[in-house]
Amino acid sequence: MVLGSTNEIQQYLNVRYIGPPEATWRIFGHPLHAEMPTVVRLALHLPGMHRVFFNPEESLETIQSRAGQQMSTLTGFFAYCAASEDECLFTYQEFPQHFVWLKSEKRWKSRERGYAIGRMYFVSPNCGERFYLQDDEEWIQCLKEAAVIKTGYQLRRLFRIILIQCSPLNPCALWNQFSMDICDDFARKIRILFVISNPTEAQIEDYCNNPDPQLASNPLGHIVVIVASSRIASLLLVGGRTAHLTFSIPLDVLENSLCGFTKQLLQVELFTETKLIIWDEIPMEHRHCVETVDRTLRDIRDSEKPFEGITVVFGGDFQQILLVIVKGVRDQIVNASLRYSIIWKHIHILTFDLNMRLNHGDHENAIFANFLMEVTLL
């Protein structure tokens, strides 16, 4: 109900209950909150660009006169340093630790008690002269600070801003000094994508300047993609990853699904240059996942060959763990395996019957290995 200018409904909704503890606390005048330590915000501006508060009804001459006399924390710092007979021992950011800014008088005075820290307002590097006030070696200082807290991707964006909008005097020197910081995430990408265990700085820089799969390959001279059906199995492979991550296979895969990447992505460039795919623990994978990868690789190259002509090596033993079908019976599990896929007719089977991990000189181990083989054949 609204009576005149009083909105009783809104008053009821905005009501606030003050209990005895809070009422007593307020009656005795105790502080309701405190900040430790005190943080002093330090202005950073060019000459004549400080903030000025004025009454719009005053004349322009009065406003200009007051603006010229007002001090900010920055101009007050300069004024104190100019008036002091001794050299100032503190930087602008350290000043609040030893001096207090009097807002009413617009000046600094020596601190008698307490402690405070100074925080300068953020200034983007493309602000030009305003950013230069922080340091003479502005770009080096900027990248040094960013390298501590920023990722390689963020540093690359910052470096592009500096090159395009800020016109550094020696861009090559900046790159040589900070190239490894700018490319800090590329070493891992090269290890994972191109199976190079210890990429050199030259390879990392080349990949940063032109992330072409041809620039980084394994010691055989060709690109090999190594995946596994399970995360545990992928950890045992050098540069291995799961198949779902590498090929972006959908979680709910169907018989007509496609992988989650398009022809325009760098991932496609990798597969167009790949010579060999090694896929371990394939019996644990649903046949729709393998068919999805096959269908996608054919699509990106407009090819009718299986896996667009890439040689694929499947590894695994169907006598071990098969894929999991929720509440599935034997027929459903068998039908979902690779043996019943349309790809199976293109597969050439190679059988390994020699246990390479077994020490054949140990008679007891050989007997136990034969016993395990007999159990799996039951």
Q: What is the pLDDT along the chain (378 residues), one digit of tens a residue?
A: 455 667 787 777 777 777 888 888 889 988 877 777 888 889 888 888 888 778 888 888 888 887 777 888 998 898 888 888 777 888 888 899 999 999 888 889 999 888 888 888 877 767 777 776 665 467 888 888 888 888 888 888 888 888 877 767 778 888 888 888 888 888 887 777 666 778 888 778 777 765 544 333 455 767 788 888 888 887 777 667 888 888 888 888 888 888 887 665 656 777 777 888 999 888 888 899 999 999 888 888 777 888 888 899 998 888 777 888 888 888 888 888 888 888 888 888 888 777 766 766 677 877 887 787 777 665
Segments forming the whole domain that contains residue 116: 2-120
| Domains of the chain: total | 3
Q: How far apart are alpha carbons 43 and 108 in whole angstroms?
A: 14
Same domain for 226 and 80?
A: no
pTM of the model: 0.43
| Helix and strand totals (H; E) in the chain | 16, 10
Strands (E) across the chain are located at 2-3, 6-7, 38-42, 99-102, 107-110, 116-120, 223-228, 241-242, 274-280, 311-314
Same domain for 179 and 36?
A: no
Same domain for 132 and 172?
A: yes
Q: Is the peptide bond before 37 cis (omega within 30 degrees of 0)?
A: yes
Same domain for 161 and 260?
A: no
Q: Provide the pLDDT for residue 100.
A: 92
Q: How far apart are alpha carbons 303 and 309 in whole angstroms?
A: 8
Q: How far apart are alpha carbons 320 and 283 in whole angstroms?
A: 8
Q: Judging by beta carbons within 10 Å of its beta carbon (0-12, 13-18, 19+), is residue 191 exposed, middle or buried?
A: middle
- The total number of residues written for the chain in this structure: 378
Same domain for 37 and 71?
A: yes
Boundary of a domain, candidates 77, 99, 120: 120
Contact (CB, 8 A) for 300 and 250: no
Contact (CB, 8 A) for 222 and 275: yes
Same domain for 323 and 293?
A: yes
Domain for residue 213, yes or no?
no
Same domain for 95 and 159?
A: no
Domain for residue 214, yes or no?
no
Q: Give the Cβ contact number of residue 343 at 10 Å.
A: 16
